[in-house]
Amino acid sequence: MTARVRLVGALGAALLMGAALACGGSAAAAEQTDIVVDGSTTVGPIAKAFAEYYMEMHPDVNITVSESGSGNGAKSLVNGTCQVADMSRFMKDTEFKAAVDNGVLPVAHVVAMDGLAIVVHPSNPVQALTVDQVRAIYLGAIKSWKELGGPDVPIVVISRDTNSGTYETFENLVMNKEKIVESAEYVGSNGAVRQRVQKTPAAIGYVGLGFVDRTLKALAVNGVMPTNQTVSSGSYPIARPLFMFTNGYPELGSALHQFVTIHLSKQGQEIIQGIGYVPVTNY
């Protein structure tokens, strides 16, 4: 889904490199500038909020944000159809090679930290699972909620699509790259996982922290609840960095550079926290 976002905030803090990033404007913003962002549905809300925040101060800059998945974001950067690839995982060796072969040098900007919350329907009495239990559910070894202290109903397993960085994080940190049970349902976004679990009392799924709300129940994993604090401290076991990739390091003071370093400003960190993710540094 493509979202054309306009600003609701004001860029009131210097971004990086002092005067080079002062939000009072620069020569780079004197002409019409278009920035295209594509990729992760997890990083998408951050990119949209940053775009709204930035364009209010810079009306000569147009920023569009698409959410086609981390893998497609990497492809768009390689093909030159976007300037920023949102990714909820690091770029694969094969993607990096394809980029270099095409004259593109990917540079990673870690914009936030995230935890993958294991979520169920609010009516489910189960409160906590271990990583091993989650893996067993997704392998099909545990088939009923009764085995975990819940109702005697089959577990409906919901997963992200395999092109998703969220899927790959789950595959690495939970599944140990073992194959998910064939009966699992695959959906195309964090929002779709949330909707499926909202409507299905027997479902289990996994989403980024920014997609957890009162319509879901997030479970403790290995005795730790997924929160900003537990992700920041490293105590929550299913956590990851979130990235924006650019082709090379953007020119200092350019609109692109200011955009991909908003996360380093105090206001940028407040935006990240407001969405439900974890800033990478603290003021």
Q: Domain ranges in the chain? A: 2-113+241-275, 114-233
Domains 2-113+241-275 and 114-233 share a fold: yes
pLDDT at residue 280 in the model: 87
pLDDT of residue 27: 42
Look at residue 32 in the predicted model and tell me its pLDDT.
79
CATH class of 114-233: alpha beta
- From first to last of its 283 residues, the chain has per-residue pLDDT tens of 443 333 333 333 333 333 333 333 444 334 679 999 999 999 999 999 999 999 999 999 999 999 999 999 999 999 999 999 999 999 999 999 999 999 999 999 999 999 999 999 999 999 999 999 999 999 999 999 999 999 999 999 999 999 899 999 999 999 998 999 999 999 999 999 999 999 999 999 999 998 999 999 999 999 999 999 999 899 999 999 999 999 999 999 999 999 999 999 999 999 999 998 999 875 4
- For residues 186 and 25, give the distance between their C-alpha atoms in angstroms, rounded to a whole number: 44
Looking at residue 72, its amino acid is: N
Amino acid code (one letter) for 259:
F
Domain 2-113+241-275, CATH: 3.40.190.10
Report residue 4 as tokens. Answer: 């054309």
Q: Residue 104, SS3?
A: coil
pTM, 2 dp: 0.80
DSSP letter for 251, please.
Answer: P
pLDDT value at residue 8: 33
Amino acid present at 121: H
Give how far Cα 235 sits from Cα of 66, 185, 210, 228, 230, Å.
32, 29, 18, 11, 5
**What is the number of alpha carbons within 13 Å of residue 126 lying toward its C-beta?**
30
CA distance readout (Å), 238 to 152, 165, 188, 253? 28, 13, 20, 36
Confidence (pLDDT) at 282: 53
